[in-house]
Amino acid sequence: MQAIRRPTSIARSPARRSPERGLRLNASAVAAIMLLCCGQQAARATDGLYPIGVSTQAQARGGADVAVGDSAISQVDNPATLSLWPRTKYRFDFTSEAGILPGHWRGPAGSADDQRLFGALANVGLAMPLDETFTLGLALHTKAGTSALYYNRHLMIPYMKRRVSGDLKIVDPQLNLGIKITDKLSVGAGARFEVASGEISTVLGPADVDFGRGYAYGGGFQLGMHYRARKDLSFGLGYTSPTWYGDLSGDNLKASLFGILPIDLGKAFMDEFRMPQKLTAGVAWDATDWLRLHGEVRWINWDKSSFHSTTIATDGLIDIRYPFPLGYQDQLAFIAGAEFKLNERWTLGTGYHFGTEPVDPANLLPVASTLPQHHVTLGLRYHRDNWWVGGGYILSLPISVSGPGCSDILLGVDYGCSEVWQAQHGFSLGFGFSW
C-alpha cells in the first residue's frame, strides 16, 4: 500500500487553465452553494460553540487539520494549506454535518427535555492556484451554532410551563491567500465577513423575557503557517482573530410579570457583540506507509467574548441596561487522531477530542450552555484521482453539570438550582473534486 500523502507541488503544465476563466465558470455554482449553507438550521456545536472540525476529513480524525490541509475547506483554520495543492488544478470541497442533540434540564420546580433535536451545518471551500507561488481560496463556513428549546415550570411561575429557548447562527464567508515561500515553508492570510443572528427566550425570577431575533455584522482575519520538516513530518499553526461586530440589534424586548402582564420594552440590542480569537498548533506524521498520526492543541479566548458577559439594552420610553453574564471561559482543546490507508481507494479515520469545561456552573443557562467535553470520532472516505466522497460519526459523551445553588445571572435563581444533561450524536457527509 502507498503512504498517505499530503498534496505536493508539481511542475506547471502549459495547458493549465487561467485563474480568471476558472473563476468565471464557477462563480454561479459557488454562490448557489453559499445560499444553501446560509439556509441551514443551527445545530449545537462542541468547542464551546464551535464545531470540532471544519471538513469531513478533519472531523473523522477528531478535528485535527492545521498540519494537514487535505481539503479546500482547511483554509478556514490554516490559510497556508492552500499552497499545498498541485499548481495545475482547482479544488472544490463540501461538508455537511447533522446532529441528534438530546438534552435534559431539571429545575427546582420541574424538568423538561430539549424539544429541538436535529440541525445541520455546512462548509464549502474552493482553492485556485494562480501561479507557482500564490493560491487563492474562497470559503463559506458555518462558524457556530447553538439551538435549544424547553418547556418547564419555574420557581416563581409554577402554575404554567414557560418556554426557555435560544438560537444562534453565524455564517462566515472568507477570502484567503496561500503563499509558497520554499518547498518546505508556506504562509497564508485572509479576511472574513460574518453575519450573526440570534434570539433568546428565558425566565428570570418572576419575569418571562423574550429577546426577538437580532442581527449583527462584523469581520476579522486569519493567519497560518505550514512547515514540512521531512516528507513524513509536517507542522501547522493557525490564528483566527476575534470577530468585531457592532451591536446585535433585535426585535423588541418583551417581558411578562408572573406570566400574566405582557410589557413591550422597546427595541432591544446587545452591546458590541464579539466572538473569540483562536490559536491552533498541530503536527502530522506518516508513521508507516498505511498509518498517519495527528496531534493538535487549540486555545479559544471565550473570556474576552460576548459569551463571557454581555449587556442587553433597550431603546424605548425607558432605556434599560441589563447585565447578562453567560460565563463562558477560556478553553483548551486537545486532539489525537489517526488515519489508516486500507487500500488504494479507502481511508479510515478515528480520533479523540477533549475540551476543557467551557461554562462556569454559576452561569449555567440551559439555552446557551454547550457542555460536552469528550468526543470520539470515526470516518471513512473513498477517493479516486480527482474526486472523493466520505462520511463520519461524532459521539460527544454525555455530561451533567449542576448549578452551585445560586446564579451569577441576575434573577436567575432557577438556573443556580438546576442540573443540565447533554449529549451529542453527529453525522457528517462530504464530497470533493479537482479539475
pLDDT digits (tens, 9 = 90+) for 4-13: 334 433 333 3
pLDDT tens-place string over residues 305-341: 999 999 999 887 778 888 999 999 999 999 999 999 9
pLDDT at 234 (0 to 100): 98
pLDDT at 119 (0 to 100): 61
pLDDT tens-place string over residues 25-82: 343 343 333 434 444 444 445 677 888 999 999 999 999 999 999 999 999 999 999 9
Which three-class secondary structure string do you get for the chain?
CCCCCCCCCCCCCCCCCCHHHHHHHHHHHHHHHHHHHHCCCCCCCCECCECCCCCHHHHHCCCCCCCCCCCHHHHHCCHHHHHHCCCCCCEEEEEEEEEECCEEEEECCEEEECCCCEEEEEEEEEEEECCCCEEEEEEEEEEEEEEEEEEEEECCEEEEEEEEEEEEEEEEEEEEEEEECCCCEEEEEEEEEEEEEEEEEEEECCEEEEEEEEEEEEEEEEEEEEEEEECCEEEEEEEECCEEECCEEEEEEEEEECCCEEEEEEEEEECCCEECCEEEEEEEEECCCCEEEEEEEEEECHHHCCCCCEEEEEECCCCCEEEECCCECCEEEEEEEEEEECCCCEEEEEEEEEECCCECHHHCCCCCCCCCCEEEEEEEEEECCCEEEEEEEEEEEEEEEECCCCCCCCCCHHHHCCEEEEEEEEEEEEEEEEC
Nearest to 175 by CA among 127, 217, 239: 127
Q: State the average pLDDT over residues 126-155.
A: 92
pLDDT tens-place string over residues 225-237: 999 999 999 999 9
Residue pair 87/406 in contact (Cβ under 8 Å)? The answer is no
> Which domains does the chain show, CATH number per domain?
20-434 (2.40.160.60)
**Confidence band, pLDDT 50/70/90 cuts, at residue 117:** low
**Confidence band, pLDDT 50/70/90 cuts, at residue 125:** very high
pLDDT at 317 (0 to 100): 74
pLDDT at 370 (0 to 100): 85
pLDDT at 34 (0 to 100): 40
Which three-class secondary structure string do you get for 211-259?
EEEEEEEEEEEEEEEEEEEECCEEEEEEEECCEEECCEEEEEEEEEECC
